[in-house]
Structure 1
Amino acid sequence: MFERPQLQTTRLKKNKLHTSRFHPTFGAQVLGEGRTRFVLWAPGAHRVDVEVEGLPSVTMDQADDGRVTAEVACEHGARYRYRVFDKDDEQGSLVPDPAARAQAGDIDGPSVVIDPNNYQWKNADWQGRPWHETVLYELHVGTLGGFKGVRQHLPYLAELGVNAIELMPVSEFPGARNWGYDGVLPYAVEASYGSPDDMKALIDEAHSYGLMVFLDVVYNHFGPDGNYLANYAGAFFREDLVTPWGPSIDFRQPMVRRYFIDNALMWLEEYHLDGLRFDAVHAISEQDFLVELAGTIRTQMAPERHIHLVLENEGNTASLLNQQQFTAQWNDDWHNVMHVLLTGEQEGYYSDFVDNATPRLARCLSEGFIFQGHTSRHGHSRGEPSAHLPPTAFVAFLQNHDQTGNRALGERLSMLADADSLAAAEVLLLLSPMIPLLFMGEEWGSTRPFLFFTEHNEELAQAVREGRRAEFADFSAFFDEKSRERIPDPNALTTFEASIPDFAARETSPFAACLHRYRTLLALRHQHIVPRLPGAEALGAKVLGDKAVLARWRMSDDTQLVIALNLGQQAAATPGLGVGQLLYETTEGAAKATESGRMPPRAAAAWLRHTPGDEEVSA
């Protein structure tokens, strides 16, 4: 049985983390001695009252910067709302606190005062792990049974060989079923997943297993239901700029920037998270906000802690990727070209990766991004040169929530790709110097779908249902209306239930063989790749033939990591590789045949070379 690798984990001095550097600008702030201060940014309101259950309402004081404040005799657990008045409105409107740490029920329920020091940490001295050690495992908290349900899987994940779990967004959203990207209260933990203390207990226990915890946060839009900010803080949004989700958030406003920067600091300080993944930052109009966000986090965090900031950014802005700003970026280019090579699909965003797919993969392995100022299918260029960045600046993945769940039927690669070719691709994913990310269930080749699911009110549910089906009208498999009826209803409970991973099947046939392969490859990564990653650099990748490449990296101890991959149906001619230490081959004899000059189809092999040889590989 594979044993969890005993990688180095450094810790802070005892109780160091109990002293928070974070002082929130907004929300309910517990002052002690039975008093709480409430702060709301409401520049468009004539008057705001805070109404704490069981107490008389209190009219809040107005400041010149648009904030309103009040102190009330209440403490942790108190329920409250704001009543916002227009100039000619005598009744006012009740709204939740947009900076509430929790809600009593759903988005329209009362907000709850949360004392961030209420939870007593068992691993308060946890410092985290260096980035180069990271193997990410993305999961959806709701499909695993909430925070307590995720905790039950921690021993398995630690034994598997991942050392970081990445939670899809957990901020309060409408209903109890959602991917999390429809969140409307970014500070509040989704009530159906558990309480803030439940989330902290998950993170605390993960740290005891040596697992880091990352959170996906959404700063580019709010969901379509339950966002009341426009009612009293119209300046939060721009009228002149519209995103796919509605009016753009106005990051020109200092208070808007502060709202999201504070949110990031809250997750890192109060919840002891190890990192954040920032969703679709290319949709943020003021890109200098990203620089301010990262700079503030780096300044505020204790220097001893390992804090990792990861981007999703269609813009491929390589200049943001340095240790003073962002640690890494999800490399969609890597996924997209691999998906084309594995499945032959050409529609949608995959169309950008069909022509010269194999040379594009070689560029990706050599330089990080494929699009580095190149023109996309939309006719505009995107990306910046990235060859100067280390391989660890890129997060590679074969599957994630987006590329699986945004398919009409939510199929995983296990249902779309040849099994031998997929096993070969896994070698490149798990043994290359890029940081690998797995999506829950991938490691045993689960055949269950991951679908798009929601729990909206019926009017919005109908709009989402129709929009979802219209989205795929241009795809060949869904040209006619009858075929689109096969697309699952996002709002149906059965759609959510179908997306629950079948963990119980992982040790059974035929899934056990795939799980064993992942365990073996992850063990090899921790033993042979991770210790050599700091300072590793790409030496280049060579096209061997259709869907076949040979890539090399110089590691920190001057050994060479060599990976040969052939996803094609024909054998590929290979140059002489010299003698090396074989790490892994997908089929018996594949490495020897490759070393002899002819790599078998649908195969991969990886070596470490300890002797001098050719170090340059022409692309």
Structure 2
Amino acid sequence: MRTTHAFTCMSGATLIGPSRTRFRLWAPSCDAVGLEIEGLPPISMDRHAEGWFGAVAPCGAGARYRYRVRPDLAVPDPASRAQPDDVFGPSMVVDPRSYAWAHAGWRGRAWEEAVIYEIHVGAAGGFRGVRDRLAGLAALGITAIELMPLSEFPGGRNWGYDGVLPYAPESAYGTPDELKALIDHAHGLGMMVFLDVVYNHFGPDGNFLASYAAPFFRHDRATPWGVAIDFRLPQVRTYFIENALYWLMEFRFDGLRLDAVHAIVEQDWLVDLAARVRAETEPGRHVHLILENENNDAALLGMGFAAQWNDDGHNALHVLLTGEDEGYYRNFSQDPAADLARVLGQGFAFQGQMFPTLGRPRGTPSAGLPPSAFVLFLQNHDQIGNRAMGERLTALADPHALAAAYALLLLSPQIPLMFMGEEWGSRRPFQFFTSHVPELGRIVRDGRRREFAAFAHFSDPARRETIPDPNDPATFAASALDVAEAGAAACREWLALTRTLLALRFRHVVPRLRGARGLESVPIGPAAVAARWVMGDDAVLAIALNLGDAAVDLPPGFAGPLLFGSPDPHALPPRGVTVRLTEAGHE
């Protein structure tokens, strides 16, 4: 018998029988709330303590409903499980047990086995399109896919960070059961599935919370996206913690990547979230929580979070590969080789040093953390898509230097992340796209173009007009994956390189990763570093990378057996890499 899964939340619509549903809404700003179900007379909801309203109605799965919070305003459920008609339409009651899991016994994989592939579901053809690609990714050596945010957003084209209904999978991508089928299929292939979740803000269109739950927000703190969410309130804390558990328990995601947690004022909520996840997910499951945190707070990585996206590593590598020094790359332009050496040996480049663009210290000491506490990448949605034109490194960097950096990415003890198409060296851009109403679309377009006025290449207003309009459907179309591109000769070669590197990783690095620690990591040239790690079995992994135009001498310790790259034990050629592994007792 196949097992089904369901998770009961405090808020939202919960089936309690084939034709009976319980509805609960936190609306402390309302004196009365009505429940309006299509095909039924309006129902007055009972008012309970602390701003809660509830009702039981004679309806089942598929029923569409709204909450009447004012005589002139009916809103979707903030805990809606499905929005078949987008964010301004009614919510729909969902039966969480309608999907029968084929791989209900899946318990996940150890974190050290993670090779992560970030993907935008819409640009990959929806839930079914992603599912169709899984077998090829698994055969390549990818062990985890990370889906960009899925919470319902306005329109059908969006990165996902404008979501306004955190419990509802984006209807433009498919149904909740199609999402479960994607995850189930991945588990059958031995792959984990992570979800990017946004708990620091809501999108600018379609969020009605302030109309009936004004205390949800605090106006004494601002974020880059507007007023802050008030995580001091227990109802708010529970709303998001239950959202995390909902994705992990009901959809069987193997982990969550928490977006921009530095924008959450009450950092203790993060500790509570991790504790609840550990306490309430089934014993024996591998469930991984990953942070994006500009604060470089190493303490959180010892409090239930597996790892943090290592922006410092990316930024140093990007400067070395491209020479760019504008925007946040200015923070890494003075000595990027030293920054990269610190990243490889200690985790963060900034561990309390002054951060030029912020004008204050950034980060905390991280040398005591294992290398696997950091997710390293050359590209991701942010670092590609937040460029004016959305270019990938294949369009910006020397191909030999990029291949050398790619070897570092896939063979270092940090956890590697690739962005969709990177496995074959895609040259297609990934641009910022939306599908807002026309007025908001114009505001977003003009604001984005103004942001780039400080960059030398876009100082000319006429040139700024060439930056793609996010709301233009052609911008989304230009960003969609083109699998046929992988058939080009250069892409086939890059795909073979990916396959080779991942095979080496799983044979030589992954089995030794638990217990690994940094040994030494130093710059050996203006664009070159050499790093060594003592692995969990006391073998020594050594990687030297030279992204410069001149050869550099290798330090002692790089004469061990060659795993990949340049065979010369004394010098490293321009745009070269050497990876060596010395077994314990064989130095």
Q: TM-score range by the shorter chain?
A: over 0.9
8 A contact 1:79–1:104 mirrored in 2: no
Separation in 2, partners of 1:149, 1:19: 24
Equivalent residue in structure 2 for 1:349, among 316, 325, 328: 328
Separation in 2, partners of 1:549, 1:453: 37
- Please, which runs of 5 or more residues in structure 2 have no aligned partner? none
Separation in 2, partners of 1:199, 1:561: 39
The 4+ residue runs of structure 1 with deviation greater than 3 A are 17-20, 576-579, 611-614
Separation in 2, partners of 1:577, 1:296: 45
Instruction: Give the deviation of 1:291 after TM superposition.
Output: 0.7
Give the structure 2 partner of residue 65 of structure 1: 50
Separation in 1, partners of 2:558, 2:284: 43
Kindly report which structure 2 residues correspond to 1:569-584, keeping only aligned pairs within 5 A, or say none. 569-577=549-557, 579-584=559-564
Instruction: Give the deviation of 1:19 after TM superposition.
Output: 5.9
Separation in 1, partners of 2:84, 2:297: 40
SS of equivalent residue, structure 1 residue 448? coil
Equivalent residue in structure 2 for 1:401, among 375, 381, 393: 381
Separation in 2, partners of 1:99, 1:133: 34
1:56 aligns with 2:36: no
Per-residue CA deviation, residues 129-156 of structure 1 (Å, 9 max, x unaligned), is 0000000000000011110111110111
Letter in 2 for 1:602: R
Separation in 1, partners of 2:448, 2:320: 27
Letter in 2 for 1:214: F
Equivalent residue in structure 1 for 2:347, among 361, 368, 392: 368
Taking every aligned residue pair, what percent have the same amino acid on both sides? Answer: 58
TM-score w.r.t. structure 1 length?
0.93
Instruction: Give the deviation of 1:578 after TM superposition.
Output: 6.0
Give the structure 2 partner of residue 591 of structure 1: 567
SS of equivalent residue, structure 1 residue 338? helix
8 A contact 1:507–1:515 mirrored in 2: no
Per-residue CA deviation, residues 263-315 of structure 1 (Å, 9 max, x unaligned), is 00000000000000000000001111111111111111112100000000001
Letter in 2 for 1:472: F
Separation in 2, partners of 1:571, 1:429: 21
Letter in 1 for 2:360: H
8 A contact 2:82–2:171 mirrored in 1: yes
1:280 aligns with 2:260: yes
Instruction: Give the deviation of 1:104 after TM superposition.
Output: 2.2
Kindly report which structure 2 residues correspond to 1:115-264, keeping only aligned pairs within 5 A, or say none. 115-264=95-244
Separation in 2, partners of 1:202, 1:392: 27
Letter in 2 for 1:404: I
Give the structure 2 partner of residue 606 of structure 1: 579
1:426 aligns with 2:406: yes
Separation in 2, partners of 1:609, 1:574: 16
Instruction: Give the deviation of 1:542 after TM superposition.
Output: 2.0
Give the structure 1 partner of residue 436 of structure 2: 456
Instruction: Give the deviation of 1:18 after TM superposition.
Output: 3.9
Separation in 2, partners of 1:200, 1:600: 48
Instruction: Give the deviation of 1:613 after TM superposition.
Output: 7.7
8 A contact 2:558–2:580 mirrored in 1: no
Separation in 2, partners of 1:447, 1:155: 23
- Counting matched residue pairs gives 586
254-263 or 605-614, larger mean C-alpha shift? 605-614
SS of equivalent residue, structure 1 residue 102? coil
Give the structure 2 partner of residue 617 of structure 1: none
8 A contact 1:566–1:603 mirrored in 2: yes
Per-residue CA deviation, residues 227-273 of structure 1 (Å, 9 max, x unaligned), is 00000000000111111111110111110111100100000000000
8 A contact 2:210–2:216 mirrored in 1: yes
Give the structure 1 partner of residue 306 of structure 2: 327
Instruction: Give the deviation of 1:579 after TM superposition.
Output: 4.6
Shift of the 578–180 alpha-carbon distance from structure 1 to 2, 3 Å rule, reads: closer
SS of equivalent residue, structure 1 residue 482? helix
Give the structure 1 partner of residue 359 of structure 2: 379
8 A contact 2:538–2:584 mirrored in 1: no
- Please, which runs of 5 or more residues in structure 1 have no aligned partner? 1-13, 86-90, 615-619
SS of equivalent residue, structure 1 residue 192? helix
SS of equivalent residue, structure 1 residue 182? coil
8 A contact 1:119–1:197 mirrored in 2: yes
Separation in 2, partners of 1:460, 1:611: 61
8 A contact 1:578–1:613 mirrored in 2: no
Kindly report which structure 2 residues correspond to 1:512-523, keeping only aligned pairs within 5 A, or say none. 512-523=492-503
